[in-house]
Structure 1
Amino acid sequence: MKNQKGFLIHCCLFLFIIINSSKSTPLDDYVHAEDPHFGWTLLQTYEEIDYKLYILNFTSQKWLDETYSSRSIWWHYLCITNLHHMYRSLVGWTFAFQDYYKLNITQYVDNDNMTKLSAIIDPLNYIDRFSKTKILQIQATGDEFFLLDNEAVFWNDLQIATGGSFLRRMPNADHVCVGHIISLFFTMRSFYMSVYDEKPLPKLQWIKSTNNTHGYIRATVDINSGPKPIGALGYRAQTLDDKRRDFRLLVGNPNDPTKAMANPVFWFTTDLVIEEQTSTTIVYSLTIENPMNGWEGFLIQVNFPGPDGTVLELTTETLIIPDTYPTDDCHGEQCLGSLV
């Protein structure tokens, strides 16, 4: 891509939920009909009295047009990768990109054809269609496909487009969330029930900043128009060395980069400071010193009560300090790089 806002969609799992749809809808026809533009696999259908749940495995993405109206459609795992940010962070390409790497696609990330492809598959090109969509983005701190601070280049635009989206970063989880599936689905359940029952969703906003010595996150919860938190905590982790800004739980084996090996970057809880607490607002903060070696990442998690005793766990973006990279950016065919 030619700038920091170039993204690539990866094959991922989407959940579409249609509420109050007791009769056939455009999405019913859409799911069961073939489309000449791209393909998918219908994995499972669940039918309840007042809604239908389709689980689809997309190989590419197409957004519903403005003619389709529903009280609520939402999805999780909106998977995007900022390519140049990855190259600068990892000094190459994650081993999980091996299928693309074998086709020399990384060599052409700055090619005009990649820009044309981005115009079709980059969700930012469809951001005006997000205005009526409730989005819960669930990410993993140790994801081998997507870096944990990718949101930095699109999160503000997503908030403007949707009027407020939601993020949960799962500590100590890899791309497929081994050992975290139950926690993941409990979060989705709470979010879905809140949307379905038209309950107020949390009002959580934050700011991030860095200087030469520290990083700082300040999270503000508006309890006047949303639920009051039932708890909050911080998470932090440090890279193993200063060679790569690398928080993945799995990395490429140096002897055979197409095979994975463990990269034990573990996240630990840390206390927060309550900077302010009034009848309408609670402000949490977390300040972390720059590490002596490598990079440190940290975030704030705030837990909210949901319907029927559920808990909705939301987080801020992840801040990585110091705000430096182990290598310069690549350009043109130099971006071929290597798998790591």
Structure 2
Amino acid sequence: MKYLIILSLIIGLSCSERTLLEDYVFDDNDISVVKHEILSSTVNQGYTLHKLNLTSLKWFNELLTNRPIWWHHVYVSVPDNLDSTRPIFYYIDDGRNNETESPSETAKLLSEFSTKCKCITVIQRQIPNQPIIFTADPKSKLRIEDDIIASTFGLFFFNRTLFPNNTYNNVPLLFPMTKAVKRGFDETVKFLKSKNVNFTEKFVVSGASKRGWTSWLITAVDQRVIATMPIVFDLLNWQKNLHIQFKSLGGGYTYATYDYFLVGLTAKLDTKEIREILKLVDPLFYLEKYSGRKFLLFSATEDQFFLPENTKAWWQDLSIQTNNQIYIKRLANVDHYLNQQSKLQIVSDIKVFMDLMHKETSSTRTLPILKWYFENNILFGATRIKLSNLGEFDSYTVTSYSAKTKDKTKIDFRVNYLLDKSFVDSNISWIEAPLIQSKKSDLAAVNEHVYRKLRILSIFNYVGFYLDVNLKLKDSNETLSISTDLNIIPEYYPIGDCYNEECLGKLV
């Protein structure tokens, strides 16, 4: 018994240990700069839209960049039909600080979304603040997006001595990006209280690409986040996934990683420095922080940045940590930058997901359970699915999507690739095939289905396939659409793995 008590204390201490990211995000040394002002309030059909200017933080000082003070435009939509028990939907958006502000199409869509979800929606723009000039840069280059992030990685790798008292740990741009969102939460709460709005101080957070990355990290540090919906960012377990990318792309990395390649990230792939920075910014290092949260990911099958098989390197771990409350929707024939149809699909799925969450109680789970297993052999590639917990649905359909690579030199499903310094369209096409139409009477405790793909089809190409499950809600035409992982046949890579300096690779 004595040993059990000691063990429990040790586990409790390790779980409650603050991370460097938490230390930074909750450090209020710069709190004096934080403020918001109301720029406008507009009454629209069904909702009132408030536009705020938020000053969120001070990131180092002018010795590092020309923009140490970060500010953002924030759009707060309060619907007339607000259900005060629902969480706030918080979208992390991009934007430039040197341009005339106008809401993005996504921001407009999500402001109107507030009436559908009966919830407050918030769009925080200019994450990160950009463009940024690094003071020591002799070219005074205006940097944006990945160029800024990669540059901060370079500072972490090569210029630590410039930062006193281990503050180099705060250099990776994801740190201030995450802190800016936390401060956005805080100021949103203050603003709503000042307007006497009744609401629940819980957040469902989302964002695309780098903002999707930020949504993972804010979820790891802020207990007010109850669900996360990252869009086109599934690069967890960086080190393993970059090794997989090296093997899949024939000894190279996607051209979209140019900025990171330039600062030597791939050359350092197996070094101590990489492990140190990944402990700061790789969401998988915060795995235990995700217990009790829900996740709905959106992934593009032809993404230029991320391979569709990224999820294999971490999915099982997060499924266990969240008690199978992690889901993914794969968007077929769409690249990293999405299109209008895919954006509408995302908003639709988010709405249904939030509705199902709202129905849950401490003893009743409303979200479905989808499990899958790959059963590949010498004749077939096969995916078996098991569906359960279908009490909120009256029927479902299962659809397969499959595509083949150009040849067997690469496992490459990107929309285009780099060849001799030119971009070449890959002409990848994901083919849809309806498989199953269930009936109400089919909703047993556990429904199993198997989809097989003839292995002979992969003699000259790699073949990738996954299943989509569309679950129709009871007494509604709305559906929740979720997907399985990507099964790829044959299972071997075009080349072997790299180690140390061999991992430098090339851009393809």
CA contact (8 A) 2:390 2:443 kept: no
User: Structure 1 pair 53/273, CA: closer, same or farther in 2 (3 Å)?
Assistant: closer
User: Structure 1 pair 274/325, CA: closer, same or farther in 2 (3 Å)?
Assistant: farther
TM-score normalised by the chain length of structure 1: 0.81
Aligned mate of 2:228, from 57, 74, 93 = 74
1:134 aligns with 2:294: yes
Q: Which residue of 1 aligns with 2:494?
A: 326
1:206 aligns with 2:384: no
Higher fraction of strand: 1
Higher fraction of helix: 2
Aligned mate of 1:89, from 223, 248, 257 = 248
CA contact (8 A) 2:402 2:431 kept: yes
1:296 aligns with 2:463: yes
In 2, Cα distance between equivalents of 1:33 and 1:167: 32
1:265 aligns with 2:424: no
User: Structure 1 pair 277/208, CA: closer, same or farther in 2 (3 Å)?
Assistant: farther
Q: Which amino acid aligns with 2:334?
A: A
Deviates more, 1:240-249 or 1:197-206: 197-206
Q: Which one has more relative contact order, counting CA pairs under 8 Å at least 6 apart?
A: 1
User: Structure 1 pair 129/242, CA: closer, same or farther in 2 (3 Å)?
Assistant: same
Q: Which residue of 2 aligns with 1:316?
A: 484
User: Structure 1 pair 328/167, CA: closer, same or farther in 2 (3 Å)?
Assistant: same
Aligned mate of 2:75, from 45, 70, 77 = 45
Query: Alpha-carbon deviation of 1:244?
Result: 0.7
User: Structure 1 pair 241/131, CA: closer, same or farther in 2 (3 Å)?
Assistant: same
Query: Alpha-carbon deviation of 1:266?
Result: 0.5
Q: Which residue of 1 aligns with 2:397?
A: 231
Q: Which residue of 2 aligns with 1:54?
A: 122
1:284 aligns with 2:452: no
Aligned mate of 1:161, from 305, 308, 321 = 321
Query: Alpha-carbon deviation of 1:212?
Result: 2.7
TM-score normalised by the chain length of structure 2: 0.55
Query: Alpha-carbon deviation of 1:63?
Result: 3.5
Aligned mate of 1:152, from 285, 308, 312 = 312
CA contact (8 A) 2:329 2:483 kept: yes
Deviates more, 1:151-160 or 1:45-54: 45-54
Query: Alpha-carbon deviation of 1:134?
Result: 1.3
CA contact (8 A) 1:222 1:282 kept: yes
User: Structure 1 pair 95/204, CA: closer, same or farther in 2 (3 Å)?
Assistant: same
CA contact (8 A) 1:111 1:332 kept: yes
Deviates more, 1:283-292 or 1:32-41: 32-41
Q: Which residue of 2 aligns with 1:10?
A: none
User: Structure 1 pair 64/249, CA: closer, same or farther in 2 (3 Å)?
Assistant: closer
CA contact (8 A) 2:57 2:70 kept: no
Deviates more, 1:114-123 or 1:180-189: 180-189
1:220 aligns with 2:391: no
User: Structure 1 pair 338/284, CA: closer, same or farther in 2 (3 Å)?
Assistant: same
Query: Alpha-carbon deviation of 1:36?
Result: 4.3
User: Structure 1 pair 228/331, CA: closer, same or farther in 2 (3 Å)?
Assistant: farther
CA contact (8 A) 1:274 1:282 kept: no
Q: Which residue of 1 aligns with 2:334?
A: 173
For 1:126-184, what per-residue CA distance to the aligned partner results, in whole angstroms no more than 9, with x for missing partners? 11111221100110111111111111121111111111211111111111113522222
User: Structure 1 pair 40/242, CA: closer, same or farther in 2 (3 Å)?
Assistant: farther
Query: Alpha-carbon deviation of 1:306?
Result: 4.3
Q: Which residue of 2 aligns with 1:26?
A: none
User: Structure 1 pair 97/45, CA: closer, same or farther in 2 (3 Å)?
Assistant: same
1:196 aligns with 2:358: yes
User: Structure 1 pair 228/328, CA: closer, same or farther in 2 (3 Å)?
Assistant: farther
In 1, Cα distance between equivalents of 2:312 and 2:69: 30
For 1:190-219, what per-residue CA distance to the aligned partner results, in whole angstroms no more than 9, with x for missing partners? 222322344811221111132233211111
In 1, Cα distance between equivalents of 2:433 and 2:472: 22
CA contact (8 A) 1:272 1:285 kept: no
CA contact (8 A) 2:397 2:436 kept: no
Query: Alpha-carbon deviation of 1:103?
Result: 2.1
RMSD of Structure 2 on Structure 1 (CA): 2.9
Report the 3-state secondary structure (helix = DSSP H, G, I; strand = E; otherwise coil) of the residue aligned with 2:228.
coil
1:251 aligns with 2:417: yes
Deviates more, 1:121-130 or 1:87-96: 121-130
Stretches of structure 1 that go unaligned for 5 or more consecutive residues are 1-30
In 1, Cα distance between equivalents of 2:224 and 2:336: 32
CA contact (8 A) 1:201 1:227 kept: no
Report the 3-state secondary structure (helix = DSSP H, G, I; strand = E; otherwise coil) of the residue aligned with 2:354.
helix
Query: Alpha-carbon deviation of 1:107?
Result: 1.0
